[in-house]
Chains A and B, each alone.
Chain A
Amino acid sequence: MHTLTQRKLLGRLVAAALFAAGSQAALAQDAQPIRIGVVTPLSGTYAPIGAQVKMGLDLALAEINQGGGIMGRKVELLYEDEEANPQVAVQKAEKLFQQSKVDFLTGTVNSGATLAVGQVAERNDKLISTTVSFSDAITGDKCSPNVFRVNAKAGQQSVALAAWLAKEKPGSSLFLLGPDYEMGRSTVAAFKAAAQQRGVKPVGELFAPLDSKDYSSYFGQIRAAKPQVFYTSTAGNDTVRLFSQMAEYGMNKNVTMVGVSGAITAQNIKAIGKNAEGFVTGVGYSPEIDTPENKQFVEKFQKANKVLPDLYGADSYGVLYFYKAAVEKAQSTDTAKVRKAMEGLQWDTPQGRKTMRAADHQAIQDMYVVKIQDGEFSIVSKVDGKDAIDASVCKRW
């Protein structure tokens, strides 16, 4: 009798354990994974950016799935190559929404692709988020209720830089030079306005065609204006030639050189060499950020990928946590509910706590001013998130 009870009990226990395990398995099978589409350039000119996007997303994916996923559901990433071409991006996004039934989409790099994919998302009643595109229009006059941006836009970079300039060189004179096309003209106009508001005096501006070989003919007006600060929004090899020629003519003597964050990057800093020294720019992320969260992130990122994260890697890492926080707050993946949860949402990223502004779906974040010293960027100043952003101009909702 005694033994029988014991055996019975044991049998029941085993049965119970088996049942519990079985039901858990059944539960997990019931919950479909959350599918996130990634439309990003894996080939072409922007492939290095797409590579950082993928590294950041993959790292966050592994962490989130290890920690039990989102609301107990695993997360799945579906990659598509957009070739840095808005038309291709639209086709791939349509495919992900229609056939793969993704819940959410991210990864677009080129600002044109983000705007175009945003329209696809509106038609499919899904949400997208960019982690890379800079164009102010995305969360400005071309804002969309279905589009969010978790990275800093061009305006935040120039406001941060202007704020630093106003503090370091109050009332200084400023000369601006940009490449002669939409990006160059809009960056120069934006920085000029931001600097002027803060008491810096613009004394001249010039636009040189893309791929100019000789900038020396532009130096006459710069000499005549005698600026204390020189701003440029050239990129790539244009910056290499501009900075080398300015140095050859002694134009960078006693002048503070500032510019857009894309002017000098890992790609051209070696070619510019010592002439890049002292260049100052505003950025949303730097692996140098001295917080325990960031140090941990940089270490994990480097261990997984053998390279340092840049702003694209960090912001793409952060977007999965943005989505996780939103879905958990909404307790649903329904578009309307998640959108409502995202608006005003605060979430933690390697570069600190970000806030998603409800008015235009632009993330507000602390900005950093970095300076090139001994061939490397180091942080010289931090600008508080709310001081580095201007009022929303989005009027769609």
Chain B
Amino acid sequence: MNALLETLQFVYAPQVVNGLSLGVAVILMALGLTIIFGLLDVINMAHGEFYALGAYLGMSLLGIGVGFWTALVLVPLIMLPIGYLTERALIQRVFHHKDRHILTLLLTFGMAIVLEDLFKLAFGPNPLRPDTPIAGATELFGMIFPTYRLFLMGVGVVIVAAVWWVVYRTRLGAMVRAAAYDRHMTASLGVPVLRVYAGTFAFGVALAGLAGVLLAPVYSVFPTMGKDFILMAFSVVIVGGLGSIKGAIIAGLLLTQVQALSSLYISPVWSDPLVFGIMVLVLMFRPQGLFGRLGHG
């Protein structure tokens, strides 16, 4: 009995907590992706590169002497206009075409390739890593965790709650949901739909940038960092249901726990194929995902 408790405490519990910290990070990425899809019907293939852009902006700010906490606030604010302009200048150009899905997919995919090469040119191929802003470890029920990862979980939960509140409890959120449900009706009611589109895109991108800064001390900053993360975020969005916020949160927690607990028994390298396998199964048997899309609930 004692041995079982000990195993639970020292083997399973740390794994669950570690999975949670990864889960929160993945959810931050998946949220932006799913909101942009839910509203604009655009699959943003460059989402990972916006995450990297946020991280590199953070590194540049740190480089000129700005503190980590200031950078954490500044980066999403800088990302907002970048995202807004990207939507107005690039995505709107192909948005009204009848091949919208393919064209926006190709456009964002191209942006991803260009951005990745720009990072390589500007910052070099080697990984950069900021100092951990909160050093040290914290003991929780006899388990030891890096304090920064615990902080990451706390901040992540707050951000996810804030996004939820904005989308479901504010007038702005109501406009976004309405535009997602029926944009013509919403437009005829006087909502500036095109600006809502650009604003939502900017919001999703800013969220990715914020995740980039938050995760930089854990995962380092390097040109291909977006690719590493985007696959997991896509799996979460697909399993949760394209466009569903609730789905992204629940699938994000579920899949990262599958990863964390399975890597106790198989090599962690194999936990990725396991997650993608679940995604394929969901696509086969429940292609709409676990939950419906934004505005359709």
Q: Which residues of A contact B (CB under 8 A)?
A: 180, 206-209, 211, 213-214, 216-221, 223-224, 237, 241, 245, 247-250
B264 within 8 Å of A (CB atoms): yes
Q: Please determine whether A219 and B14 come into contact, CB atoms closer than 8 angstroms.
A: yes
Q: Please determine whether A208 and B269 come into contact, CB atoms closer than 8 angstroms.
A: yes
A211: B residues at CB distance < 8 A? 127
**How many residues of chain B get a CB closer than 8 Å to chain A's CBs?**
25
Other contacts beyond A180-B269, A211-B127, A217-B268: 11, CB < 8 A: A207-B269, A209-B269, A213-B219, A220-B18, A220-B263, A224-B7, A241-B220, A245-B146, A248-B137, A249-B14, A249-B144
Q: Please determine whether A249 and B145 come into contact, CB atoms closer than 8 angstroms.
A: yes
A213 to B146, CA, bound (A): 15
B219: A residues at CB distance < 8 A? 213-214
B265: A residues at CB distance < 8 A? 221
A289 to B144, CA, bound (A): 39
B10 within 8 Å of A (CB atoms): yes
CB distance from A36 to the nearest CB of B (A): 37
CB distance from B272 to the nearest CB of A (A): 10
B220: A residues at CB distance < 8 A? 213, 241
B186 within 8 Å of A (CB atoms): no
Q: Which residues of B contact A (CB under 8 A)?
A: 7, 10-11, 14-15, 18, 22, 127, 137, 144-146, 218-220, 228, 259-260, 263-265, 267-269, 271
A209 to B272, CA, bound (A): 13
A211 to B137, CA, bound (A): 24
Q: Please determine whether A223 and B11 come into contact, CB atoms closer than 8 angstroms.
A: yes
Jot down 20 A-B pairs with beta carbons below 8 A, ordered by A: A206-B267, A213-B219, A213-B220, A214-B219, A216-B18, A217-B18, A217-B260, A219-B14, A219-B18, A220-B264, A223-B10, A223-B11, A223-B15, A224-B7, A237-B127, A248-B137, A248-B145, A248-B146, A249-B144, A249-B145
Which of B137, B228, B264 contacts A213 (CB under 8 A)? B228
Q: Please determine whether A224 and B137 come into contact, CB atoms closer than 8 angstroms.
A: no
DSSP majority for the A interface?
A: helix
- The number of A-B residue pairs with CB atoms under 8 Å apart is 59
CB distance from A25 to the nearest CB of B (A): 58
B145: A residues at CB distance < 8 A? 248-249
Query: Of residues A224, A237, A241, which shows the largest number of chain B Cβ atoms within 10 Å of its Cβ?
Result: A224
Which of B127, B137, B218, B271 contacts A250 (CB under 8 A)? B137
CB distance from B24 to the nearest CB of A (A): 14
Which of B7, B10, B22, B263 contacts A218 (CB under 8 A)? B263
CB distance from B276 to the nearest CB of A (A): 16
Q: Please determine whether A220 and B14 come into contact, CB atoms closer than 8 angstroms.
A: yes
CB distance from A291 to the nearest CB of B (A): 41
Closest-by-CB residue of A relative to B136 is A248
Given A206-B267, A207-B269, A220 and B15 contact (CB-CB distance below 8 Å): yes
Given A213-B127, A237-B127, A250-B144, A218 and B228 contact (CB-CB distance below 8 Å): no
Given A218-B268, A223-B11, A249 and B218 contact (CB-CB distance below 8 Å): no
Q: Please determine whether B264 and A224 come into contact, CB atoms closer than 8 angstroms.
A: yes
Given A207-B267, A248-B146, A224 and B127 contact (CB-CB distance below 8 Å): no
B264: A residues at CB distance < 8 A? 220-221, 224
B22: A residues at CB distance < 8 A? 217
B137: A residues at CB distance < 8 A? 247-250
CB distance from A52 to the nearest CB of B (A): 24
Closest 4 CB pairs of A and B: A250-B144, A248-B146, A217-B268, A220-B264
Closest-by-CB residue of B relative to A215 is B268
B228: A residues at CB distance < 8 A? 213
